[in-house]
Amino acid sequence: MHSNESTLPIAQRVHINTRQEPILFLREDSVVARSEGFNAMSRVKVAVEDRAIIATLVIVGPELLPEGHAGLSEIAWHLLALTEGQRIRLSHPAPVASLSFMRHKVYGHELNREQITAVISDIVAGRYMDVQIAAFITACADNRLSRQEMVNLTRAMVESGERLAWSGPRIVDKHCVGGLPGNRTTPVVVAIAAAAGLIMPKTSSRAITSPAGTADVMETLAPVELEIADLRRVVAREGGCVAWGGAANLSPADDILIRVEKALGIDSEGQLVASILSKKIAAGSTDVLIDIPVGPTAKIRSEQAAALLAQELAGVGAALGIKVQVEITDGRQPVGRGIGPALEARDVLAVLRNQPDAPEDLRERCLRLAGRLLELANASEPGKGYGDAREILDSGAARDKFYAICKAQGGMREPPVAPCRFHVLADRDGTVSSIDNRLVANVAKLAGAPVEKSAGLEFLVRLGQSVKRGEPLMIIHAASPGELEYAVSFQREHPEMIRFGDASGSLPDPEMTDPDQELAPTEPYTR
Amino acid sequence: MHSNESTLPIAQRVHINTRQEPILFLREDSVVARSEGFNAMSRVKVAVEDRAIIATLVIVGPELLPEGHAGLSEIAWHLLALTEGQRIRLSHPAPVASLSFMRHKVYGHELNREQITAVISDIVAGRYMDVQIAAFITACADNRLSRQEMVNLTRAMVESGERLAWSGPRIVDKHCVGGLPGNRTTPVVVAIAAAAGLIMPKTSSRAITSPAGTADVMETLAPVELEIADLRRVVAREGGCVAWGGAANLSPADDILIRVEKALGIDSEGQLVASILSKKIAAGSTDVLIDIPVGPTAKIRSEQAAALLAQELAGVGAALGIKVQVEITDGRQPVGRGIGPALEARDVLAVLRNQPDAPEDLRERCLRLAGRLLELANASEPGKGYGDAREILDSGAARDKFYAICKAQGGMREPPVAPCRFHVLADRDGTVSSIDNRLVANVAKLAGAPVEKSAGLEFLVRLGQSVKRGEPLMIIHAASPGELEYAVSFQREHPEMIRFGDASGSLPDPEMTDPDQELAPTEPYTR
């Protein structure tokens, strides 16, 4: 009865976006569901021609699907490369053998290279349910991964996708572990490194939970969705690029694990090391500098945790044949002025163009990181990197290189400007004593970043700065009045976002903050 | 903009069964999704009047929902008690505070009573995603729960639902940890205990992954879906009942945790103890006997593991004020003849009626368990329980009590008979040397059990039994020819289900078993 083609269900595309999780829809009166004994939320193997995936079954009422049809969510439809009307075969999936290795890890055993490779390759093939991925991540948390397991996990993640190879002997890269709004040093560092003759084929991600990823920012200045061939051409011509990494399928396991880790709020050291290094190794890097901002509302909250992470990054990198160095930086407050794709791009341009209004803190971080990178790659003498980087920036060589990279990527453009603004004013005199990075990022996201490229905020104050009542603290930018209002409401509800010490330097009681502080709109709804 | 009722989305019921996971459907062009910044798979708070749940957002194409509408899956619709056309409020859910306790546990810390209670109560309120539940379960596995944590987890699970109270000083109960097809002792034990004057308000589950749960079996003999008031009336009149526990909402946390544990294949000791005891304590039991079958394909595979489990069960039970004893039994092969609701019910009736063809092994297990229970509750002198139980059974008192219970539950009926049969015959002479319980259970499920009450199989051989080529090993029962064929195919593909030793007692090489062994259909398609 399984070989009779005409009784197989007909595939129907269901325009349902469930991210990476493939969903199969069957009617409650479906003959195949009954005869195969599938229940709601069963795992079902869906096959067509020589392609197969495992999907989660959702049972639907008869009004949602014609008789004899099986619905497939967007990701399932694409993974199977289906066309409307094709017949599909449904069956019980073979047991996933590597789940027993996942359970070994849950029960505290060390996994060997083959076992970790099997787990990662089954995860990438879509054979794990999200709950099973969650169990693997949990079992690896709390320092339960040995150094050797981290090495094997990183290697397995590299092997899970494509791997780029470059002709030069040294391929440099930089990465920031994240958590700091506005810390957009990459375009400047790439420009300086490439101007100095280094090869830096930088692939970046879009924002996952932040108001902007490097790819989102760069996209306001030039195309970033480059095919591998175009990426090679840009790098061959200019020595560097700032492209979106998604097209290259580098360490796809990482994207899947990150999605589940975010839901759990667990970002364990071993997973973080494997995540960062697998992307870098897959991108073909040999010398990698990692920026670890440390602060109470940054991702890494103590110097001690940063030092431990640095040690693991260097150790695992060395075991896999790449040189990794770490720069621990100040993560107590946002960097630059802009937060959001276009606003951060403006800061980047101001630094590259040596404009007098360029944010000094962003410029300084770019020079420190670029200097370290020049030294790491032996392009500068030890101790001379910072000075060399500054010369390249001040001379306009970095700016020219950046323009050339933009042109090679498809043409430079000006970042868009948001039509709606709102000035948040200080409701008192005082000295800025603390800034919550996460709340600041939330305001920018509620204003529409990163989907709306022009949305976000200009953050105008710094720790220790004295402000007078009525002076602007930030300017919120949005593409629509509704989004502006949403961001403003959130900002109003969170006066603890920016705290002020009084004359004596002590913090005001947040309960005492007037929730109806004056919020004067200026330049509203104008371009 | 949040207070304007007319802009709120209109709820639309979507007949989609996603078990316990509430799903919210919004169009990709939905204004509320954009203005609130919801993405695919976001967690969204859905509120109507004073009721609210947290649902997972699925983004759908415009052909699936009218503009201005929000779809809700079956469970979401029921949890919110919605009516068609009602407007709902969507917002970002407040952070779930107990997730930080979940993470404490992941990072190896012991949780106190308040913390465990917060986790369980948020899980029951639907505030956890499945991946977060998976992380909690994983963090508790591998003996990472202390005795005190097991006590607190059990108590929190009891407090998560209703709790029954009874007037008698002693309320007895029995439970089997499961994994053994046909081990249907409960109806007989309840009848003996109630006939002896004990109070035994037995609430049982339906099958989750097995071919039959006690409630499925009992339902072929009498109604089992009793309201609490009816349950009380039956017990007041007869001293016992055999009802489905689902209506009573006892330890609902257990049902949720079990669903995720099954997907993970992780059934840790601490969770098992909390699962069993929370159901018993919530049901108001004071004296509980637990049957632990031990065998290579049973749930518990060694005497040592059984002893450890027994110790934890007794210890946690004592801490929570109930007396728990354990009976370790032979779990190497199925019990009785029938596997599947109606076929097991026939075995139960044969034992109660003292029929000469009653399966001796089932009768023996019932008497042992009933005897232990009589002694545990001081209804029999120590050492006299088995004899007392046998007298109650042999005299017909247990049968009469069972009939009376069935009548009180709504009227006794005869179990249904399947129209389709298939006799599986031995393809050689030999002695049965091993039986795989899991494969046997699979055949019964593929034949349609437990959904088809009449489906399943009669299992005709025992370990050590000599069989001749052509003798029947089992008879498969199904409600339709298709299901029969499906079960027969599976049985054919798994000759290792029943292994034979040759004259010298050694096992045949499974590779040598003839896959085309003769399968003679008899009595096919007849009622």
Write the pLDDT tens digit of every residue in A27-60: 988 877 766 767 777 789 999 999 999 998 888 8
Percentage of chain B surpassing pLDDT 90? 70
Which one has a higher pLDDT value, A458 or B61? A458
**Least Cα separation, residue A504 to chain B (angstroms):** 35
Nearest chain A residue to B130 by CA distance is A131
pLDDT at B454 over 90: yes
Please tell me the CATH code under which domain A420-512 is placed.
3.90.1170.30
Q: Quick one: pLDDT band at residue B5, thresholds 50, 70, 90?
A: low
**Confidence (pLDDT) at B209:** 74
Is B134 touching A (CB cutoff 8 A)? yes
**pLDDT greater than 60 at residue B182:** yes
The Cα–Cα gap between B289 and B297 comes to 22
Handedness of CA B355, B358, B361, B363 (dihedral sign): negative
Provide the pLDDT confidence category of residue B4 given band limits of 50, 70 and 90: low
Which residues of chain B from 291 to 350 reach within 8 Å of chain A, CB to CB? none
Mutation site, B1, B4, B13, B16, interface A, largest A CB count within 10 A: B16
Residue B110 burial by Cβ neighbours in a 10 Å radius (0-12, 13-18, 19+): middle
Active site residue: A267, A287, A291, A347, which one? A267
The arithmetic mean of pLDDT across residues B69-75, rounded, is 92
* A-contacting residues in B 444-483 (Cβ below 8 Å): 445-446, 448, 451, 482-483
Interchain contact, B135 vs A138, CB within 8 Å: yes
**pLDDT band of A526, cuts 50, 70, 90:** very low
Say if B227 is an interface residue toward chain A (CB within 8 Å). no
CA separation for the pair B341, B458 (Å, rounded)? 12
Residue A439 has pLDDT above 70, yes or no: yes
Instruction: Please report the residues numbered 245 through 264 in chain B whose beta carbons come closer than 8 angstroms to any beta carbon of chain A.
Output: 260, 263-264
CATH of B172-245+283-408, one of 1.10.8.80, 3.40.50.970, 3.40.1030.10, 3.40.50.10420: 3.40.1030.10
CB A118, CB A156: distance < 8 Å: no
- Tell me the pLDDT band of B138, cut-offs 50, 70 and 90: very high
Q: What is the mean pLDDT of residues B419-438?
A: 94
Mean pLDDT of B203-217: 89
Contact between B35 and A483 using a beta-carbon 8 Å cutoff: yes
Residue B410: exposure state from Cβ atoms within 10 A (0-12, 13-18, ≥19):
middle
Considering only alpha carbons, which residue of chain B is nearest residue A485?
A: B1
Contact (CB<8Å) B64/A16: yes
State how far residue A362 is from chain B, nearest Cα, in angstroms. Answer: 28
- In the stretch 263-282 of chain A, residues with CB closer than 8 A to chain B read 263-266
pLDDT of residue A117: 98
Q: Residue A514: pLDDT band by 50, 70, 90 thresholds?
A: very low
**pLDDT value for B512:** 31
Nearest-angstrom CA–CA distance, B281 and B157: 10
Written as one string, the DSSP assignment of B440-480 is: HHHHHHHTTTTTSTT-EEEE---TT-EE-TT-EEEEEEESS
Q: Assign B105 a pLDDT band (cuts: 50, 70, 90).
A: very high
Distance CA B36, CA B43 (A): 12
* Per-residue confidence (pLDDT) for residue A4, from 0 to 100: 52
Domain spans in chain A, listed from the N-terminal domain onward:
5-91, 99-159, 172-245+283-409, 420-512
Tell me the pLDDT tens digit for each residue of B484-518.
988 998 899 899 999 998 644 444 333 333 333 32
Q: State the pLDDT confidence band at A86, using cuts at 50, 70 and 90.
A: very high
Q: Which tops the pLDDT comparison, A407 or B44?
A: A407
- List the beta bridge partners of residue A323: A287
- List chain A residues with CB under 8 Å of B265: 99, 103
| Residues B483, A15: C-beta atoms closer than 8 Å | no
Instruction: Report the pLDDT value the prediction gives residue A396, as an integer from 0 to 100.
Output: 98
Compute the mean pLDDT over every residue in chain B, rounded to the nearest whole number.
89
For residue A133, the chain B residues in CB contact (below 8 A) are 131
Using an 8 Å CB-CB cutoff, list chain A residues near B28: 17
CB < 8 Å from B in window 46-85 of A: 58-64
Selected residues 407-446 of chain A with any CB under 8 Å from a CB in chain B: 445-446
Looking at beta carbons, which residues of chain B come within 8 Å of A134? 130-132, 134-135, 138
Q: How far apart are CA A188 and CA A351, in angstroms?
A: 8
Q: Which residue has the higher pLDDT, A425 or A8?
A: A425
Q: Which of these ranges, A117-121, B168-172, B421-425, has the smallest mean pLDDT?
A: B168-172
pLDDT in tens, A171-204: 999 999 987 999 999 999 999 999 999 999 999 9
Cα A205 to chain centroid, rounded: 5
Contacts of A60 in chain B (CB under 8 A): 14-17
Highest mean pLDDT among A23-27, A41-45, A258-262, B247-251: A23-27
Nearest to A17 among B14, B15, B59 (CB): B59
CA nearest to A13 within chain B = B61
Asked if pLDDT for residue B2 goes beyond 60, the answer is no
Judging contacts by C-beta atoms under 8 Å, the chain B residues touching residue A141 are 106-107
Residue A525 has pLDDT above 50, yes or no: no
Q: Which of residues 85-104 of B touch A (CB under 8 A)?
A: 99, 103
Comparing B203-212, B231-240, B372-381, the range with the smallest average pLDDT is B203-212
Chain B residue numbers touching A17 (CB-CB < 8 A): 28, 40, 58-60
pLDDT confidence of residue B35: 66
* pLDDT band, residue A513 (cuts 50/70/90): very low
Q: Is the CB of residue B366 less than 8 Å from the CB of residue B189? A: yes
Which pLDDT band holds residue A411 (cuts at 50, 70, 90)? very high
- Per-residue pLDDT of A98-137, as tens digits, reads 999 999 999 999 999 999 999 999 999 888 988 999 999 9
* Distance to chain B for A173, nearest Cα, Å: 31
Residue A525 corresponds to which amino acid? Y
- Weakest mean pLDDT among A175-189, A222-236, B373-387, B482-496: B482-496
CB-nearest to B130 from A40, A107, A130 is A130
The CATH number fitting domain B5-91, selected from 3.30.420.40, 2.40.30.260, 2.40.40.20, 3.40.50.300? 2.40.40.20
Q: Using CA atoms, how far apart are residues A6 and B327, in angstroms rounded to an integer?
A: 53
Give the per-residue pLDDT at B520.
Answer: 28
pLDDT of residue A517: 30
3-class SS of residue B424: strand
Q: What's the rounded Cα separation, in Å, for the pair A58 and A65?
A: 12
Instruction: Report residue A5's pLDDT band, with 50, 70 and 90 as the boundaries.
Output: low
Assess if CATH 3.40.50.300 describes domain A99-159. no
Question: Does the domain formed by A172-245+283-409 have CATH 3.40.1030.10?
Answer: yes
CA dist A501 to A331, A435, A513, Å? 20, 12, 13
Most confident of A62-76, A255-269, A276-290, B60-74: A276-290
- Look up A254 and say whether it is catalytic: no
| DSSP three-state, residue A215 | helix
- Return the residue of B nearest to A444 by Cα: B37
State the number of CA atoms in the 13 A half-sphere of A441 facing the CB: 22
> What 3-state class would DSSP assign to A267?
coil
Q: What is the mean pLDDT of residues A405-421?
A: 96
Residue to test with chain B: of A84, A130, A264, most B Cβ within 10 A: A264
What's the gap in Å between the CA of B207 and the closest CA on chain A? 13
**What DSSP designation does B250 have?**
B
Please list every residue in chain B whose beta carbon sits closer than 8 Å to the beta carbon of residue A131.
Answer: 130-131, 133-134, 260, 263-264
More confident residue, B17 or A112: A112
The CATH label, of 1.20.970.50, 1.20.1630.10, 1.10.1740.10, 3.40.50.720, for the domain at B95-162+248-279 is 1.20.970.50
pLDDT, mean over chain A: 89
Q: Is the Cβ pair A61, B16 closer than 8 Å?
A: yes
d(CA B233, CA B429): 55
Neighbours of B441 (CB within 10 A): 26
Taking residues A201-228, report their average pLDDT.
92
A79: CB partners within 8 A, 6+ apart: A22, A51, A53, A126
Write the pLDDT tens digit of every residue in B254-281.
988 988 988 898 878 899 999 999 999 9
Q: Answer yes or no: do A16 and B103 touch at CB < 8 A.
A: no
Q: Which residue in the block uniquely carries the two structure tokens 């961001």?
A: A487
User: Which residues, other chains included, contact B419 with Cβ-Cβ below 8 Å and sequence gap of 6+?
Assistant: B454, B479, B525, B526, B527
How many contacts, defined by CB atoms under 8 Å, are there between A and B?
137
Active-site option among B216, B267, B291, B347: B267
> In which band, very low, low, confident or very high, does the pLDDT at A356 lie, cut at 50, 70 and 90?
very high
Do A15 and B61 make contact, defined as CB atoms within 8 angstroms? yes
Instruction: Give pLDDT, residue A6.
Output: 64
CB-CB neighbors (< 8 A) of B137 in chain A: 135
Nearest to B129 among A40, A60, A263 (CB): A263
With a cut of 50, say whether residue B83 has pLDDT above it: yes
B 502-521 residues with CB below 8 A of A?
none
Which of A101, A131, A266 has the highest number of chain B CBs within 10 A, making it the mutation to test binding with B? A131
pLDDT of residue A503: 45
Closest alpha carbon within chain A to B26: A16
- Asked if residue B427 lies in contact with residue B388, where contact means CB atoms within 8 angstroms, the answer is no
